[in-house]
Structure 1
Amino acid sequence: MVKRDFSQFGRTVLEIEKAAIEGLYQSLGASFDHACQILFDCPGKVIVTGMGKSGHIGGKIAATLASTGTPAFFVHPGEASHGDLGMITDQDVVLAISNSGETQEITTLLPVLKRMGVPLIAMTGKPESTLSRHSDVHLSVAVEKEACPLNLAPTASTTATLAMGDALAVALLHARGFTADDFALSHPGGSLGKRLLLRIEDVMHAGEAVPTVSEQTLLRDALLEMTRKGLGMTAVVDDKGVLRGLFTDGDLRRVLDAGHDVRTVPINKVMTKGGVTVSPQMLAAEALHLMEERKINGLFVVDGNHRPIGALNTQDLMRAGVL
């Protein structure tokens, strides 16, 4: 069996693609600034289009733009000439990708786009191509050679195009002052969305589900309330409903070690006074950090008058996907 050095083949590919990106770095300048300004000023959406491998890269570029504050979507150029051009308005900008700059499905669209007055940004490897010459701005993604040893399969050129798309998206992100909170709004189902969007009021137990007893309640009865509510703790309030303390499973172990009679001792004699509380508007991720820092498993949520209005524990945060 012939032993092949696959790792060396891989390193050769990475070296070629690294050189392709370094070439982009050196060529970035006025055209890139112009393209960014057109995209930044666009009152509509960015329409990305491309055929074949360029289309796959275009789809990713559109997704990256959309998730970083620049509304964008991908339109297949073959479908565009059969009705999907209706998706494009004169408020939009078209970003067309073609390594050769001569892709027929794209060049066919040029007269219509010109008639509509839609700004066109071309991303090609051929500055003298048809697409380049008819664009408002041309971004060169030319590479010295493909990583494919036959110099045929799009490899280095698609890497360069993808990198150029990322450069556009992130430059626009900075220009828009796009924040992590903004990013979370377009990723509500992801872990970042959970950390930045989910608040305590979204996950806490409220109303009758909040374990609560008065200061005069016997410990025995407080334990029954804890069992009914299933959170491993109870709030202790005065006659005005203001939180005075709390009692947890951990407190129970200490009470039993001290020899107290659970049938006769009032809860206010053995409760933890005060206790850690949070507001309903606090981020769930902040609550998790607080619980980890204080080494506690639950929190009570209080209103502006320090009355308990909610409760949560680590299991609630786990179910919500924060933990």
Structure 2
Amino acid sequence: MKISPKKTSLRGLRIFCVAAKYRNYTLAAEELSVTASAVSHQVKTLEDELGLELLTRERRGLRLTEQGARLFRELEPAIANIDGIIAEVQSKTAASQLRVSVQPFFASECFVPVLEDFTARNPGIEIFVDTSDETAERHPVSADASIRLFRQKPTQLESDALFPLRLIAACSPDFLKRYRKGQEFTPLPILVHTSRPEAWNIWSKATGITLPPATSVVRLDSMIAVARAAERGVGAALVPVPLSDNWFKYGALVPMFDEIAELPETFYLAYPKAKAEIAEVKSLRKWVLDLFQE
């Protein structure tokens, strides 16, 4: 009698691949939009089904066992192939849709203001833009394409570099009058983006400018909130250029100095390799590169 092999959950295999890619349950959970414990549970369930240990915990994260490394090596291209087949079927049978994830400040200042041009050029594409995720260096699993900051070119995705992250010190016109005495500044409050706690130190070293000691520090969790607080005179801020150009153009913010610091991060248009040939993604890529790539 022939014994059929036990079926293994495709969901479990997919989750294992993401966990193996990052060697970290928390980062895998962020990409999959689930909890870290759910990822750990799925991997443990898969290990029980296969009767193999695939991932082991270490002080610095996770380590693939010999069996886990072999499974990941063989499985990753198969999962990508399945994703490609699904994407191709969807593109032929469903309405022409495109899901794009853009970090909020880039979306509000650069992407959304010119989005009408994309829709006019591509009237058959129904576009969904998600601006809820501030996270850098991660392509949301639900998105066809994303615009994100990466320190290095992402190896697991197709990607195109747009321009590096550059920061300039800025404040409101009234704030500048209050705190600048001649060419110098008196002690002043500063604003800090919580995801970049060392940004002022990096900016100071790059520009050679040392501000006086801060009278207070206000920490905010989004660049939109940082720029808005600076506009209202709450403190001095580091804002990205050219993303903030309109704030300067209309006088909501003014530069405190001419110097600009370039950080070791770059805005990328990123998309899964399985979706590279989808017509909607190709249309978006051409449009984004024409508008934003330096």
TM-score, length basis structure 2: 0.23
Structure showing the higher strand proportion among its residues = 2
TM-score, length basis structure 1: 0.21
Larger RCO (alpha carbons 8 Å, 6+ apart):
2
